[in-house]
Structure 1
Amino acid sequence: MPHPVIALVLSMTSTLGAAPAPELSVRYERPDSSRAEQARQVLKDSGALRTGIRLPEPVKVVARDCDSPTATWDHERREITLCYSLVDKVRGTIKGISQTEETSPGAAQARLDGALSVLFHHQLGHALTTLNGMQDSDAQADQFAALTLAADRPRRAAAAAEARHLLAGHAGIDHLSGLEESATFACLLYGSDPAGHARIAKGGWVPAERAPSCAAEYSRVKSTIGDKVVKVGT
């Protein structure tokens, strides 16, 4: 049964990107180094923090320098933090993989944008979980992230699944590492629209034997935490 207190509303202005929700404010703090400045620009240019998700309460998103490469949600402060050092680590790893595979610049950029979108939506998942009085966990945040990304940024779903698949085996990349987690995330994204997101299955980012059941898996998750809750308008 759907959780009784969830009040998640999605409102998209276009399929390419959404205007910020009134409940969400985004701030990019001044970087302390040229490398952090580059990461700040990468994050801004990616559009990963643009969303039309409407939250139960106001939430702040802050990109800043940190002591370690992380992304976090602070329920008491109602604040999502994305560290420039994490953005830099993701950028460097994606760049290295893409150069090894001789990927085109456009495809490499799509991978990076997809990875940064996953980072943001995962933290947004933590926010939605705790703001709606649910038990918080990375698995729960991932489920919300798949639902919100699929509804809010459907054109970025395949790139997000690919990027997470590529990063799954790289330890220490906050919320993007983990082979099993990557496969589940890809399955939910694919299951949200198997025809529209066919590239996820063709790319092997969800195991072939699991792909046929992904639509049902997505439906189960949606009915549990998001049925009649995820709405898309203009």
Structure 2
Amino acid sequence: MLLNARIRFHSAVAVTACAVLATGCGGKAQSAAPAGSGRVTVSYAEPRDDGADERPFLRKHRLPERVADDLNRTVRLPEPIRIVSRTCDGDSDYPEYDDEQGRIVLCYDYVDEVRAMFKAARDEDPDGRTAGVITESLYHEAAHALADKLQLPFTGHEEDVADQFAAYRMIPRGAQGRDGLLAAADNYAQSAAGDEDEEDFDPSDEHAPDAVRAANYRCYLYGSRPKEADRLIDGTLLTDERARGCGEEYRALRRGWDKLLAPHAR
């Protein structure tokens, strides 16, 4: 979720079209940014007395630190980006990027809610699955931060492109990254199953519906490794028909993000 979002384009396009980024649609490639000294930093705020305290969980798994380390190793930033874990005020506990302050906010309450959802579902590894969801959320918000700080050009909805960035960074990380992304897909599917009231659907929301996000992540996972068809093609979220194009969808998002980040690579 992007706070004070500046959505560059609002035209509806296919998810794969979002990957035609640096040179497509008549645009020009982004020129190389100055080296700068921008870094991604991590901090943990003291929780409020009446709020959840998920600092021990986050620190144990080093979730913000792992994302920060990955970005610091791969991307040159002209300005710093902060990942701040804290108790959140207001109506939303969802992670969000605040472009005015240049920070990604991760709410203790959100981490607690995700863990509770997996525990209620009697998942065999609620902590591991929660770690996957939080990692996906941090990469999603990191994509918003990079789009802002690096002024990245792309077509389509920024929220779709941010989901693709999470897949772009997590899938190549082996079993842990792939399992984490599947946990995020399952979390979106659980949320979609709970949205039984049609009044909950907001057609003006820049995010794709949760069920669509779940299906997309399954598609990217299958496209990167078709031999895992048994655990990914379920006939509902990911059908055989959609799966046939998932290889190209995954390759397209990789090509797109490779081109986007090439001028800013360390």
TM over 0.5: yes
1:25 aligns with 2:13: no
Distance 1:151 1:126 in 2: 20
Q: Which residue of 2 aligns with 1:47?
A: 62
Give the superposition deviation at 1:90: 0.9
Give the superposition deviation at 1:216: 0.6
Q: Give CA-to-partner distance per residue, 1:176-229, whole Å, 9 cap, x none.
A: 9700111112222332x316xx54752447613222321210111222332484
Counterpart of 1:25, as a letter, is T
1:225 aligns with 2:257: yes
Q: Which residue of 1 aligns with 2:26?
A: none
1:168–1:177 Cα contact (<8 Å) kept:
no
1:73–1:80 Cα contact (<8 Å) kept:
yes
Q: Give CA-to-partner distance per residue, 1:116-139, whole Å, 9 cap, x none.
A: 111111101111222232466211
Share of identical aligned residues, percent? 25
Structure 2 counterparts to residues 104-183 of structure 1, below 5 A: 104=124, 107-133=125-151, 134=153, 137-152=158-173, 155-170=176-191, 178-183=210-215
Distance 2:131 2:210 in 1: 19
Counterpart of 1:208, as a letter, is T
Distance change in 2, residues 1:200/1:165 (3 Å): farther
Gaps of 5+ in 2: 1-19, 23-28, 196-206
Distance change in 2, residues 1:139/1:201 (3 Å): farther
1:81 aligns with 2:105: yes
Distance change in 2, residues 1:160/1:6 (3 Å): farther
**What TM-score, normalized to structure 2?**
0.66
1:63–1:83 Cα contact (<8 Å) kept:
yes
Q: Give CA-to-partner distance per residue, 1:114-163, whole Å, 9 cap, x none.
A: 11111111101111222232466211211112112224566222232134
Distance 2:87 2:254 in 1: 35
Q: Give CA-to-partner distance per residue, 1:58-82, whole Å, 9 cap, x none.
A: 2110001112312111123211001
Distance change in 2, residues 1:117/1:178 (3 Å): same
